[in-house]
Amino acid sequence: MEQAILRINNISGHISKCPVMHKKASALNSKAWTLINTNPMNTNKSSALRVLVTGAAGQIAYSLVFMIASGQMFGPHQPVVLHLLDIPKMQEALNGVVMELQDAAHPLLQSVIATTDVRTAFTGIQVALLVGAFPRGPGMQRKDLLKVNVNIFREQGEALNKYASRNVKVLVVGNPANTNALTALTQAADLPPQNFSALTRLDQNRAQAMIGEKVGVNVNDVHNVIIWGNHSLTQVPDVTQAFLTQSYSQVTPVVTAVNDDKWLKESFIPQVQNRGAAVIAARKLSSAASAATAIVCHMRDWLLGTKDGEYVSMAVYSDGSYNVPKGLIYSFPVTCHNGEWSIVQGLKISDFIQDKLNQTTKELQEEKDLALSFLSEKK
């Protein structure tokens, strides 16, 4: 398969500010994944993190790669080597992305490998951001979409198993993200299932922003909004555990601050569920910059650790918590420490939310069964 390996030298420039820079170094060191350098005194360029982005010539990646190179994902002291993969017909556009990365002059970007060859792209990677997927076309049934993507993520799971680091952290963004992640996981038998995840952070970010706008506070004051289940129209935005912090001495439950149960049930939930479609209707293109931001948030919290007392939404391998069948890739509230996530336990689930959890669980189980039936077919 045609390939082009393009490398650039580490060159001077300025690092964009990142939320993790506001944390104390000692706190970062106690929570960060061992492969992440959080020490400003450590300038060892040989410790660069190898990060794969698939669909690298696409819209989301066009925002994402510059965020990674600037330090927004892994912090201001962690150099990176970007592995960029796309299909052969996108090679010229991919070369253009590399040129812009050169021109951006990010000092943390040690080199770029831009290729259309799967083996080259996956070899030695420590973080895999699987952004590319086959999009749903006009009149295409979800079953047909799932079948095409099963073949794509079967190949990528096999590549992860053969060529990636044994501790690679995998985030699947391409839809249907939960089941695509499950497909890749099933083909990577030598890798821990806990190292696979799918993106629901965009849905969480959307939900938090809507709550902030509703009650008139900054989004940074909205905490512990949960997205349960599938990244689809059955996802379950849940604010029953969420709270607002407008000062160090004032903590207010979101339900109390909103004080409108009808709005929360009949407007807020469907607005979050349908936000992606609303963006497409408005800009005639799918979410890109906001999706890239959510990818950064997801990986930053996973590898650098979540804040004390807060949890985030990640679609991860179910261990049976909250009666979700084991083995589904399901969005839960989690906390993260040293590159490991833990599902938050013991949350009280209302009957209203439980009914919606049952619906999204049913959908994910059906998707899993269908994907496994496709995987059992001869290639």
Q: Taking Cα atoms as reference points, which of 176, 175, 132, 136 lies closest to residue 156?
A: 132
The one catalytic residue among 83, 223, 231, 298: 231
Structure tokens at 161: 């198993």
Task: Kindly state the helix (H) or strand (E) to which residue 332 belongs, with its residue range.
Answer: strand 329-337
Which secondary-structure segment (H or E) carries 365? helix 351-376
Spatial separation of the C-alpha atoms in residues 285 and 280, rounded to whole Å? 5
Amino acid in the structure at residue 193? P
Sequence letter at residue 97 = V
- CA 292, 296, 298, 303: dihedral to nearest 10 degrees? 160
- Contact predicate 199/159, CB 8 Å: no
Residue 231 is a catalytic residue: yes
Cα angle value 353/357/363 (rounded, 5°):
150
Beta bridge partners of 127: 51, 169
In angstroms, the CA 142 to CA 2 distance is 31
Of the chain, the end-to-end C-alpha distance in Å amounts to: 19
Helices of type H across 39-135:
59-70, 91-104, 118-122
Catalytic residue ranges: 231
